[in-house]
Chains A and B, each alone.
Chain A
Amino acid sequence: MSADRTRDLQVVGHSVRKVDSLGLACGQELYVADYATPDTLVGYVVPSPYAHARIKRIDATRARAIAGVHAVLTHEDIPRIAHTTAGQGYVEPSPYDNFVLDSKVRFVGDRVALIAAETLEIAEEAGKALDIEWEMLDPIFDPDHAMDEGAPIIHDEPEAHMPIPVPYDPKRNMAAGANMGDGDIEQALRTSPKVYSRDFSTQYAQHCPIEPHVTLGYLDARNRVVLITSTQVPFHARRITAQAVGIPVKRVRVIKPRIGGGFGAKQEVLLEPLVASLVLATGRKILMQLSRAEEFLSRTRHAIKVGIDGGFNEDGTINGLRMRVQSNTGAYGAHALTVMCNCGSKVLPLYRMKAVAFDAKAVYTNLPVGGAYRGYGATQAAFAMECFLDEVAEDLHLDPIEIRRRNHILPGEGSPVFAALGEGKPGVEQKIGSSGLAECLTLGAKAIGWEEKRSKPGTGTLRRGIGMCALMQGSAIPEIDLGAVHIKMNDDGSFNLTCGATDLGTGSDTILAQIAAEVLGVDETEVLVYSSDTDLTPFDVGAYASSTTYLSGEASRRAALAVAEQIREIASEMMESHPDPATLVLKDKAVVAPDGSRVTLGEVGLRSLYQANQRQVAATGSAISHKSPPPFSAHFVEVTVDIQTGQVRVVKYVAAVDCGTAINPKLAEGQVEGSVLNGISYALTEEYQFDDKGRMRNTGFNDYKIFGTQDTPEIQTILVPTWEETGPYGAKSVSEICINGALPAISNAIYDAVGVRLREGPFTPDRVLAAIRQKA
């Protein structure tokens, strides 16, 4: 089906070179820090040494007197405006519990003061020279006890509130709550022949973009605050910065240059309000760049406990599932509600069931702050769900693939979860339009050697195991996210495409160019992409929720269609026979009539700008989505487990993915491979270690290991094409889904190898060995 529709495409579906890749490979493309000039001051955040304390008195006199210090801002110096740092649409479904600076600190590393100085050393010295009288408060680190009677209250300030009507109870350290259900879950569990209950937990982790958060700010000649910043959400950054520092939106301009990776960390409006505050205080150019240690304390993956109770029939079909979620959002509630809700909404609809229930809470603790991280809740809950199903399959003597086949959602089917669970409000009902999951299961199983290799652990020190899982995600947030693209034609027949969509290394600039080029009948090199600058480019929510290809790509298609229509009209004027514009075809950089007459786009461009009936050929395309079509994926992994050391190694990993049409297969593969390895690294090594004071102990790559070249196993990507009717050229999303597979697939593979179930990540040698010993 999809092959028929993609066969004749000239640009879409082809692995053209990413438009910025050569400039990046030559070190010529610029990132935020590259815009610094010799007169730029360093912006610095004085970190809290305590997990929970009040600033009773703060005196910056000595700090300000240090030579080279240009500003020291404490909470007494700036407006106190409650806001959220979550870079989400307006109104944000995250609590307003954050201030640029506050008289209270809530985790180790929280902001105490802001400093602008000639050098980082001077800024640090000034930080130490602050004279602070602290009132120590009891901290709470254990999410299980955060809501206990009498627990320390982390957000006792009167301003903390949730801007949308959802459960929020800061007096009990509850950052968010959600409940939903469909059908009678109690009855389903009571009457099912087989009932299971299991609990899983995931750990704190960090995105680790190799470029940490960084923002450069200055006042321009019209007294506006210009922020060149490493962000996934330029327009949200503009809005939230204006709000947080108390200036009009029109006084802020946000420019996103090249970005050194984001993965969700930069969906947070973290440094922009701080830099804006220092710029307003000093009138100087300020560069604030987090150190790696600070980056670990910026935003994290929410550590989440997920429990599942399920009622099954003997044949493995599901009667009902209840998912119980407890998310640790740390000291602030950014994305607390939505990540938690995604645990349900991006995992439960994968399977058919008669009754479903979702019961979730996010709690505050005095630990680092959760945020958006690729996978966004689905990572944590897919671990639980897919391990759970593996256990059920075993008990019912079913092949793990088979239990998925018997239950997974099919094209044409809906799920009550879609309608019940949205972003802090009911979701949007939808039926699955496209799904290649069945084929993903078949092809993935074949590629890993499922039949031959499964349940043959061997007998030596190194045991072998095979595991798998099935996954879904979404594509954009329906009825909320907007993407817009503007295209104008130049006098040589080339085009400028401007968009607010945010290429943070994903290749979205290239994807949008390919889509426009396909419509306009040109190579993608004829479409010059510029993203993003809030003064110059149309609005886009930014790079999150797997929305860019699906949504901004559709906006690009629409803009190009409108431009193509204008081009046809002009071409018809130019052709002697004045054919009906609707009969004209754009191809090979020209417009061609049925009778063979032909004008080039260059001729059209010249005429439109200089010669006759002049006008600018241009159009803006906007797209919102009425559904969020899930991409689907099946992952298979082969591991070895050393029963003497507990060391788990991934030998081979196969990800079979249905992302609809891959607009650029090579770039789609790159998204898969990158997220797979990040997932493996999370499953096997990445976790925060805290001491009893709530201090993170492993804040560098020496102690917090992320996978390098020598750790990387063979990764095989299989793209399974389908056609999503609502997406541009049949496309769905691809960038997030594949980070979710490693935890469950590897856990299941470890079981196949050594017969122990790991329900808590990461699967470090210690944990694996302990499990093996416990079993023996």
Chain B
Amino acid sequence: MRISTRINGVARQFDCQPGDTLFDVLRRMGLRGVKEGCDREGTCGACTVLLDGKAVLSCITPAPKVAGREVLTIEGLGDVASPHPIQVAFADAGAVQCGYCSPGMILSTKSLLDRTLVPTQEQIAEALSGNLCRCTGYVKIFDAVRDAAAALQQEKKDNER
């Protein structure tokens, strides 16, 4: 089956076999920031990407489901030459230890901060509840989300001026 979609802002077409998940397809395209940490049973969050701005687990998302929609992976958010403020906040807050959970965490954060720039602790914990991290104890991840929110707020203010 041939599927047309937009990935990281670019129109893409791909072939998919029956049973292919979005995860399979993204990895095949060389998007290596999408990670796998459970047996693709949707329990770790390492494979999180944004589908039309909403965080989804790519390992349990059937590939055909993205037809005509917009996928954002960590590669599309920013790179080291021009990182997104959330990526910078994670790096600066000490929220990245092994980093294996980070792409998923950061994309879940993006989907939260697209909705609100003044998230409560409960909202943060809720938004990241599907993303497991074994390294950090989440403390610095919560810090990073708040720092990112502040940075984005500042950015917004600067833009309005």
Contact = CB atoms under 8 A, between A and B. Distances in A.
Interface of A: 15, 17-18, 20-31, 33-34, 207-212, 258-261, 263, 291-293, 504-507, 666-667, 669-670, 672-678, 700-702, 706, 708-710, 712, 715, 717
Most chain A beta-carbon neighbours within 10 Å: one of B31, B38, B101: B38
B88 A292 contact: no
Nearest to B144: A25
A312 to B, nearest CB: 36
Contact of B94 (A15, A23, A29, A292): A15
Contacts of A677: 137-138
B33 A18 contact: no
Interface stretch (B62-70, B121-129, B150-158): B121-129
B79 A28 contact: yes
A483 B74 CA distance: 36
B5 interface: no
Contacts of A261: 97-98, 100, 134-135
Contacts of B46: 210
Interface residues of B, number: 55
Nearest to A506: B97
A708 B141 CA distance: 12
Interface in B134-148: 134-142
B38 A700 contact: yes
Contacts of A258: 98-99
A709 B128 contact: yes
A27 B86 CA distance: 13
Contacts of B142: 709
A190 to B, nearest CB: 45
Contacts of A708: 128-132, 138
Contact of A709 (B41, B83, B87, B125): B125
Nearest to A290: B39
B23 to A, nearest CB: 12
A666 B136 CA distance: 11
A26 B74 contact: yes
Contacts of A706: 132, 134
A291 B41 CA distance: 11
Nearest to A15: B94
A211 B32 CA distance: 14
B91 interface: yes
A675 B138 CA distance: 11
28 contacts: A18-B94, A22-B91, A24-B99, A25-B88, A26-B75, A27-B73, A209-B100, A209-B134, A210-B132, A210-B133, A211-B37, A258-B99, A260-B99, A260-B100, A261-B135, A263-B134, A293-B39, A666-B93, A670-B136, A670-B139, A670-B140, A673-B137, A674-B137, A701-B44, A708-B128, A708-B129, A709-B124, A717-B139
B80 interface: yes
B13 to A, nearest CB: 19
Given A21-B90, A702-B41, A709-B125, A29 B135 contact: no
